[in-house]
Structure 1
Amino acid sequence: MTVFGPAQPAPLNAGDPQPIGQGQVTIVEGTTFSICAPNGDMDPGGAQGLFFRDTRIISRWQLRIDGQPPQPLSVADTDTFASRFMLRRAPAAGHADSTLLVVRQRVVGEGMREVITLTNVGREATLVHLELAVDADFADLFAVKEGHAAGTATHAQASGVNLVFSRPDNSRGLLVHATGEPVSSHNGLSWQVVIPARDEWRTEIIVHPVVESRRIEPRFREHLSPEEAEEHSWRRQVTSIRTQHEGLGLVLRRSVRDLDALRIAAGEDSAHTFVAAGAPWFMTLFGRDSLLTSWMALPLDPSLAVGTLYTLASLQGRQVDPCNEEEPGRILHELRLGPQSTSALGGAHYYGTIDASPLFVALLGEAWKWGAAESDVRALLPAADAVLAWIDGFGDRDGDGFIEYQRATDRGLFNQGWKDSWDGVNDAAGQLAEPPVALAEVQGYAYAAWLARADLADAFGEQALAESCRARADKLRSLFAEAFWLPDDGYFAIALDGRKRRMDAMSSNPGHCLWTGIVTDEHAAQLIARLSEPDMDSGYGLRTLSDRMGAYNPMSYHNGSVWPHDTALCVAGLMRYAHIPGAVELAHRLTDGLLRAAMSFGGRLPELFCGFPADRFRPPVPYPTSCSPQAWASGAPLLIVRAFLGLDLDVPKRSLVLRPRLPQEWGTVTLDRLPFAGSLLRIAASGTDAEVHGLPEPSTVIN
């Protein structure tokens, strides 16, 4: 996928991120992505390059025409995995116009292909000296991200039309092959051609990654066989979501395209596909991000949830290791594949997350309701039960019934919820929480996990277990209301610190608690009223932190910015409490602001943007190192549409809940090819009315 503008998230640990900068272009396909300038060049010394499996395999890729860089005319986003760069040769001295058009067409996918076409629009033949400087430093993604990629000494060989680069240990390498009879050298490739008047010349350059001395064959979508192309027809197979609202329609189309590009098959099993967290730096498995994104994408493709669950179950913690914070039953935080992955947090496998574990169980229960095969659910139940054992043991550090976190060493993440920046959890005065920390939303996730396991126990005839799990959920709900509620303020504390002190900052986190249903109606009514105030509603979505709090900074990562996925979860929570006055109105207002923000970003919601008020700053101010595309930002519109449809499936019970409360300006929203008990449904809804077509018999619609 092609990204214009900032394309980098804040770092996970110490060290400043290397800025991507305005106007740069990112193209993504699975674990392959390139970052380049608007003319297509990848310049050395910064964050640009071609990356494959967390390694920068090209650090320099610069085109020169007669010794000069071509001048950019335009960049076309031709698909999620390709771009076309329109350029021209610099005009001759004393001339205003150029007669040589330069087109670079680039596609990535397990490698890269670039076709360079030179078109002579002049009246006489032209002599062109074309050079492509190529270099590879095989730097680890983390080193590039943090701006200290020193590079690794490489060995380069030039042989005819091929260039070969390799690390001294042969763990990573690169083969570059070109047509057009180039002259090769250690510095790159060059061509000298004469192009007749009104004629053109072209060359094709293929980049092959090499891993452990094995050359990887690139897989470009337009070169796939009919059978392989069928595997890549995901967008044509998943549920189609259409709307009469032009802006929402654009946002949904971009979301589906971006989720397609972010999908990665786990190993050789293409059926077990998950969604990477985001481009450019997080094109890998992230427990929390991948779980929440696949939850959001359930109406689009329930199989993403199953693939994510299988992949995370295969990496579930089995031993106690303080270096990477692994614990038996704990779900992974992130997976890294680069040559220096051992230096990334706790290594290639890092487990320092407090919320991925309960979200795993909650998603398994939801996937069952949305049609996951019984054989898959039964196969994943041992992993879910290991998670619940972890919640009761390692997760509840002091036995008070809440899940808490405290990093095992100084190398791990200080904060381990979704607001994982070092200063992401604080009180109203801005003082940081002292560990161990119990986050409000994580208790909600745990509540959902116990209820999900109870439902699965019911389904499989384990009545005693079902009753036990529901009792655990009920107890947690009571404990949460008592310990986290701030009666004088009308909202929940963001967390309890190590002394069980209520961190009384007004934040967006309690909105997640609405989503999970842990909030009582009495508290929900006050919380909804509090969320609707202008210190939380920026006009473009919900702020992560009220502008009345001591730590508020609209340009911060987690203390006053707007995260689309965060707003979407809160909107879904509001719609869960739609019977409470003001909930639906606030959900509609937040969504309207979020859509207006999305339109200012070309229809693509970024990871986050600054939390300045909309009545003073139009358009919204970008966050300079935001991921775009980013998985749960792409999934956010899907969750909002589902929430406004009031759509819930229970395929095993052959029932469908549909209680639409759609904004009037959306007109009719139509879902086609929604899988349900072996059938494909069509749902058309507007306002509070809906129709369902294609229901198998017997089935029940609840509205």
Structure 2
Amino acid sequence: MTAWNADTEAAASESGSVTVVEGSSFCISSGTGDISSDSGTNGAFFQDTRIISDWVLRINESLREPLVAQRPKPFEATFVGRAKWPDGRFDSPLVVRHTRHIGAGLQDDITLENYSAESVDCDIELLVDADQADLFDVKVGRASQHPEPVRTVRDGQLVIETSHNGQKRGSAVHARGATVSSEGLRFRTRIPPRGKWATSVIVVPLINGQAPAGAFSDDGLPRHREGVRRHRHWEQNVPVITVGDANLQALLNRSQSDLGSLRIFDPHHPERAAVAAGAPWFMALFGRDSILASYMSLMVDPNLAAGTLQTLAGLQGRRVDPDSEEEPGRIPHEVRLGVTAGLSLGGTAYYGTADATPLFAALLGELSRWGLSEDIIESLLPHVDRALEWIDRYGDRDGDGFVEYLRPNDHGLINQGWKDSWDGINFADGTMAEAPIALCEVQAYVYSAYVGRSLLARWSGDVALEQHWAQRASDLKAAFNEKFWLPEKGYFAVALDKDKRPVDGLTSNIGHCLWLGIVDEDKAASVVEHLMSPQMFTGWGIRTLASDMGAYNPVSYHNGSVWPHDTALVATGLMRYGFVEEAGRVASGIFEAAEHFDGRLPELFCGFDRAEFPGPVPYPTACSPQAWAAAAPIQLIRALLRFDPVHTRGVVHLAPILPEDMGDFQAENVLLDTSRITIKARGNHGDIEGLPPGLKLVAEPRPPLAYPPQAGAAGSGQSDLKQAAR
């Protein structure tokens, strides 16, 4: 088994664990700050490798008594506890303060403070191990595939290294004043009355014996690191949100902070920020996840979407490789840096996804509405055209007009849509569909890609090209509504299987079709009725699979659970087709669910009905923070505001329908074009201050079903152009 086939498997983390994250580095520990490989998923990780697997602090031969663990910043945590007094007294006055920093390695600042009136001798021992296990092995609870690490003491530091298939990974651990042995570090000190003792333990990851740029060092302060400065800059430039509902304001603020912590940067283009999928297991660039998360975060920072597209463009497929599933024009599913991933695929990128490529093209079309820099659009247009070529040449495997997937190997993902677990696509009776599979939402993404390319052609003044892609969109929409519609059930099939049979499971996927407008208007009401039925809407969110389906399981990953991002996109689709009350109910359910997760939505939660338990039931291995989930409240607020910039037409739509109990809403410092605007709303009234020149406010929602235009109509096409711009 290789990394890619294990994407949806994860061992449960210890209850009360603490995660810190910066870029693609992260650390999971117990609530005391200790790390134990016996806990399965604990560890500090750098470039998908566990650089610390055990980190146990003993003072006077005993563990600390934990008092509190706090995480003031995403990349920093502080643990406070009491250490054993030498005479064994219970009420010890010896307090341990332990602050952890994550980045290109690890730095732990440890302080012992003696609150007694007498001095105390302390024996401080830090037991350390670093198995250099690949992240995928840790994630699924599998023993490391690497040889046993070699432990040596050299130059005052403990070096733990292992070699695997020609690549050496290691960790160098040191601290000033420490006695270093093959087991770890030791300090002996006498702390005077009311006095303190402190040290900093530094872990430097090694790749083929070399330390990475930006590693922690004795002469550098953690707060001066580039990652810390980037996060501070993010907090200073994201919107300042105030809401009458204090819980909602806290949720939106947490969402913005988490999105900032989940950014990753291309070392060759450090000015570009892309969004990683989520912590702890998906701190890497993903095609679909990163695109959708940055789309839903447009109100926070459109530059995040631009950076995501630029980064993915640099990885766009160039050759046919069945092992990695790379194909010319294809956007990758996932990029990893661990040894196992590279060995499995002959590289660091895996391309097995059917949806990232059309979503790539669709997102650039959306960004053109926001006034994205012309230079960026022009630089990305060739990549969009290559993505559209992939759809025709490789995505549509049999020439029927729909994009299908079928893995060409025995180690890639079996299912290659957003529900990519092995059992994620089912008929109503529970039978699994067989590939090649054409997913309904993938066709909606392709439709949106065609619409987006038409908009981009209008932006460049190419009327003929705009008409071409408008016609492609129109043809796909007609074919989709014919082939995927189930008239006897009143909803769309989740997919067509290898025999072109409609897969009749009732799923949330059809809500994505509403979101992107591929659904014929006369079918929308029936689709909405099914999505809002008790079988689909739990009261907290939309189930991934209806409760009366054969494969339904409320504690599964994709067959009955609730994913906040999925629900947010469904709500956006409801709003697009004018189902305002239903969209408000769904948004309120997600907002209320977040209160039960301390103001941070997880990747997913279980699909039990709201009447069964007092709060949503957590899913045991859900990522948190997770980019989709962090972006979901932002997307829901945008949907409730009905805020839609259309820079190509010189208008900005704002027609809010906020619940009255939300109170006043204000978002200052929202980036639109090159200006910073302020959005104000309450109930059904709204206003925008600081609109850039050439844009005017339209106090009505963007027409929901104006696209596609009547491609091929006689005349100059001006009416078509106006509609396409919507």
Q: TM-score range by the shorter chain?
A: over 0.9
Aligned to 2:561: 561
Instruction: State the 1:11 CA deviation.
Output: 8.2
CA 1:364 to 1:654, structure 2 compared with 1: closer, same or farther past 3 Å?
Answer: same
SS in 2 for 1:284: strand
2:174 pairs with 177, 181, 184, which one?
Answer: 177
**Structure 2: which 5+ residue stretches go unaligned?**
700-726
Q: 2:91 aligns with which of 94, 97, 102?
A: 97
What is the CA–CA distance in structure 2 between the aligned matches of 1:123 and 1:631, rounded to whole Å?
A: 50
2:662 counterpart of 1:641: no
User: 1:215-234 maps to which residues of 2 (within 5 A)?
Assistant: 215-216=211-212, 217-218=214-215, 223-224=223-224, 229=229, 232-234=232-234
The residue number in structure 1 matching 2:720 is none
1:210 and 2:203 are equivalent in the alignment: no
> What is the correspondence of 1:10-25 to structure 2 with a 5 Å cutoff?
12-13=5-6, 16-25=9-18
Aligned 1:583-662 pairs, distance under 5 A: 583-662=579-658
TM-score when normalising by structure 2: 0.92
1:297 aligns with 2:297: yes
Structure-2 separation of matches of 1:555 and 1:612: 8
Any residues of structure 2 matched to 1:482-493 within 5 Å, and which? 482-493=482-493
Of residues 153, 166, 169, the one that matches 1:158 is 153
Tell me which amino acid in the other structure corresponds to 1:157. Answer: T
Once residues 508 and 619 of structure 1 are traced to their aligned partners in structure 2, the CA distance between those partners, rounded to angstroms, is 21
Sort the Cα spacing of 1:682 and 1:221 in 2 relative to 1 into closer, same or farther, 3 A: farther
SS of 1:340's partner is: helix
- Counterpart-to-counterpart distance in 2, 1:550 and 1:608: 21
Q: Which among 74, 77, 82 is matched to residue 88 of structure 1?
A: 82
Q: Contact between 2:135 and 2:281, CA under 8 Å: does it hold in 1?
A: yes
**1:39 corresponding residue in structure 2:** 32
Tell me the SS of whatever aligns to 2:277: coil
The structural deviation recorded for 1:346 is: 7.5
Is 1:30 the counterpart of 2:26? The answer is: no
Distance, in Å, in 1 between the alignment partners of 2:143 and 2:386 is 39
> What secondary structure, in the 3-state scheme, does the structure 2 residue paired with 1:236 have?
helix
Q: 1:450-473 deviations in whole A, cap 9, x for unaligned?
A: 000001011112211110100010
> More deviation in 483-492 or 165-174?
165-174
The answer to whether the 8 Å contact 1:567/1:590 transfers is yes
Which position in structure 2 is the counterpart of 1:131? 125
Compared CA separation, residues 607 and 243, structure 1 to 2 (3 A): same
Q: Secondary structure at the match of 2:16?
A: coil
The CA deviation at 1:510 is 0.5
Change (3 A) 1:20 1:174: same
User: In structure 1, the residue corresponding to 2:131 is in which secondary structure?
Assistant: coil
Tell me if the contact between 1:332 and 1:356 (Cα under 8 Å) persists in the aligned partners: yes
Aligned pair 1:64/2:58, yes or no?
yes
Q: Match of 1:529? A: 529
Could you tell me how far apart the structure 1 residues matched to 2:69 and 2:446 are?
46
- Measured in 2, the distance between the counterparts of 1:228 and 1:121 equals 32
Matched letter for residue 365 of structure 2: G
**Offset at residue 47 of structure 1 (A):** 1.8
User: 1:256 is matched with which residue?
Assistant: 256
Per the alignment, residue 146 of structure 1 pairs with: 140
Matches within 5 A, 1:228-627: 229=229, 232-343=232-343, 348-578=348-578, 583-627=579-623
For residue 719 of structure 2, what is the aligned residue in structure 1? none
What TM-score does the superposition give when structure 1 sets the normalisation length?
0.95
Secondary structure of the residue that 1:139 maps to in structure 2?
A: coil
Following the alignment from structure 2 to structure 1, what is the Cα–Cα distance between the partners of residues 209 and 518? 53
Identity, % of aligned pairs? 47
Residue type matched to 1:696 in 2?
A: P
| 1:14 CA displacement | 8.1
Listed one character per residue, the Cα deviations across residues 336-370 of structure 1 (whole Å, up to 9, x for unaligned) are 10122235578521110000010000001111211
Q: Is the CA contact (8 Å cut-off) linking 2:160 and 2:172 kept in structure 1?
A: yes
Quick one: which amino acid aligns to residue 58 of structure 1? I
CA 1:346–1:434 in 2, change beyond 3 Å: closer, same or farther? Answer: farther
Return the alpha-carbon distance in structure 1 between the equivalents of residues 195 and 221 of structure 2: 29
Counterpart of 2:193? 197
Whether the 8 Å CA contact 1:365–1:455 is kept in 2: the answer is: yes
Indicate whether 1:112 and 2:112 are aligned: no
Letter in 2 for 1:487: P
Shift of 1:263: 0.2
Match of 1:6 in 2: none
In the alignment, is the contact (CA less than 8 A) between 2:5 and 2:411 conserved in 1? no
1:4 equivalent in structure 2? none
Aligned length: 689
Q: CA deviation at 1:577?
A: 1.3
Which deviations, in whole Å up to 9, do the C-alpha atoms of 1:244-282 show, x marking residues without a partner?
A: 111211111111111111100112312221011111111
For the aligned residue pairs, the C-alpha RMSD in angstroms reads 2.0
In structure 1, C-alpha distance between the alignment counterparts of 2:331 and 2:670, rounded to whole Å? 30
Instruction: Classify 1:227/1:317 alpha carbon distance in 2 versus 1 (closer, same or farther; 3 Å).
Output: closer
* 1:5 aligned residue: none
Residue pair 1:288, 1:333 contacting (<8 A) in 2 also: yes
Q: Give the 3 Å change call, closer, same or farther, for CA 566–234 of structure 1 in structure 2.
A: same
Identify which range, 587-596 or 412-421, moves more after superposition: 587-596
Amino acid at match of 1:541: G
C-alpha contact (below 8 Å) 1:370/1:650 kept by paired residues? yes
Rounded Cα–Cα distance in structure 1 between residues aligned with 2:572 and 2:127: 51
Local SS of the residue matching 2:697: strand
What is the identity, as a one-letter code, of the residue corresponding to 2:325?
E
Structure 1 residues 207-255: Cα deviation after superposition (integer angstroms, max 9, x where no partner): 2222233212336985328998377411211223321111211111111
Distance 1:331 1:16, change over 3 A: closer
Deviation at 1:92, TM superposition (A): 6.4
Distance 1:677 1:551 in 2: 46
CA distance in 2, matches of 1:15, 1:678: 40
CA distance in 2, matches of 1:598, 1:184: 46
The residue type paired with residue 401 of structure 2 is: G
| CA-CA distance at 1:643 after TM superposition | 0.8
Report how far residue 73 of structure 1 moved: 1.2
Asked if the contact 2:60/2:85 (under 8 Å) is kept, the reply is: no
For 2:471 and 2:140, the matched residues in 1 are separated by 47
Match of 2:682 in 1: 686
Instruction: Give how far 1:665 is off.
Output: 1.6
Shifted more, 671-680 versus 353-362: the winner is: 671-680
Deviations 1:61-119 (A, max 9, x none): 11011111112111111211111111112466774312211111111111211111111
| 4+ residue runs over 4 A deviation | 91-94, 219-222, 225-228, 343-347
The question of whether the paired residues in 2 share the 8 Å contact of 1:16 and 1:147 is answered with: no
CA contact (8 A) 1:31 1:264 kept: yes
Q: 1:19 to 1:221 in 2, by over 3 A?
A: farther
Q: C-alpha offsets along residues 419-438 of structure 1, whole Å, 9 cap, x if unaligned?
A: 00011000110111111111
Q: Secondary structure at the match of 1:388?
A: helix
Equivalent position amino acid for 1:121 in 2? Y
Whether contact under 8 Å (2:248, 2:591) holds in the other structure is yes
Q: In structure 1, what is the Cα distance between the partners aligned to 2:249 and 2:56? A: 38
Unaligned runs of 5+ in 1: 1-9
Distance in 2, matches of 1:533 and 1:221, equals 55
